[in-house]
Structure 1
């Protein structure tokens, strides 16, 4: 009897745990929309002349302005903590907005990043000062660009071009972005939030495929 009881617990417990956490992600772990329908980056020129868009993609967005060289540390932190773990997700991309004239600095940065990982989903786009300022205003955050039109914060954008983040609660203020100069901030906040939004779309895809299969 004890043997069957132990086997039953070992068999049933993992299933119960899975159902519990799966329902938790489905019902509670939704990353809030903070700014709906921000501007797209289709008017910016890409390094490879491909068409880069936020529409239909889960995007980690950074803005380096005219300070690409000064943001190399931020890029390496993002590469290690966020990109490396998620670039195999089909609709994931990492987009960086830089000021026109920074192309050579970007090529140098990409060359360094490519020494450790496939950088095909790193997308750099270039625009004028006015275009960068106009785009950044559409994010509607409480964060400001520095004198280089740059910020250490990265942002999570969903497939509908909406800015996702954390709403204000008892422990912290509204979180519009994640400080990429802080490995702790990436590890303790952004890693989890990217997991949440990817899980959200995975669950949506499973539900869609299930419905299609029933037709």
Structure 2
């Protein structure tokens, strides 16, 4: 068959995309899973009995003692990430602040909520010791300063800290948390990594149901 310009165009427009779709739809785990950078961190329930990481995809941030000076990053997190996933099931942002900062935390929540449905934002308070213990369990290469971190942390439904192990912008390639002061990092990294984590669970759920259907078919 002679390859004409018309046939090439038709191939590129219709056949090639179909081939790509078939490869992707029939393949198994054709994506990179988001690395676990720290296993089995302390649960949020160690700070607030009514709050947990379990069975949720959680972004954790530490507000600190000087909320007014650090609030810009939380507005970035809200605009660039939270609003993108507000409709997703089992998604939450947990903002942790020290006891005694209740008025400042309420003010920050009110300011963020001026144009946002805050239903999946959770503000919880704890003692300095409880907050420090939770943060230390992340086993990052940074420390809290006045109970504050400029990073947002991604925790999976099993209580593992997720991140990157070969990130060119971080020392030794280890990305434990995402810089809330950097709009580009929230956009290009955190937002994408939350999507990868959701797809990871979707793929696992799909495989589980397929295996059940296969066992049923053979009478197991």
Shift of 1:143: 1.2
* SS of equivalent to 1:39: coil
Q: Using a 3 Å threshold, how does the CA distance of structure 1 residues 22 and 137 change in structure 2: closer, same or farther? A: farther
Contact 1:25 1:199 in 2 (8 A): no
- Contact 1:32/1:164 (8 A) holds in 2: yes
Kindly state the Cα deviation for residue 4 of structure 1 after the two structures are TM-superposed.
8.3
Say if 1:32 and 1:167, in contact at 8 Å, map to a contact too: yes
| Structure 2: gaps spanning 5 or more residues | none
Larger Rg: 2
Equivalent residue number for residue 39 of structure 1: 42
> 1:24 & 1:109 partners in 2: Cα distance?
46
Q: Deviations over 1:168-200 (max 9, x none)?
A: 366742111111011122122212211211111
Give TM-score scaled by structure 1 length.
0.85
Structure 2 residue 197 is the aligned partner of structure 1 residue 197: yes
1:85 deviation in Å?
0.5
Superposed CA deviations along residues 18-51 of structure 1, whole A, max 9, x for unmatched, are: 34556789334211001001000113238xxxx1
Which position in structure 1 is the counterpart of 2:59?
60
Q: CA deviation at 1:201?
A: 1.4
Aligned counterpart, 1:29:
32
The CA RMSD measured in Å over matched residues stands at 2.6
Q: TM-score, structure 2 length as denominator?
A: 0.84
1:179, 1:23 → 2: CA distance? 37
- Count of matched residue positions in the alignment of Structure 1 and Structure 2: 210
* Residue 119 (structure 2) aligns with: 120
Contact 2:24 2:30 in 1 (8 A): no
User: Hey, what does 1:153 align to over in structure 2?
Assistant: 151
Inter-partner Cα distance in structure 2 for 1:63 and 1:30: 26
Shift of 1:161: 0.5
Structure 1: give runs of 5+ residues left out of the alignment.
none
Tell me the equivalent position of 1:90. Answer: 89
Range that drifts further, 184-193 or 116-125 = 184-193
The match for 1:74 is 73
Distance 1:62 1:171 in 2: 21
Residue-by-residue CA offset, 1:105-145 (whole Å, 9 max, x unaligned): 12111212222221110011110011111111100000111
Q: Which of 16, 19, 36 is the equivalent residue of 2:19?
A: 16
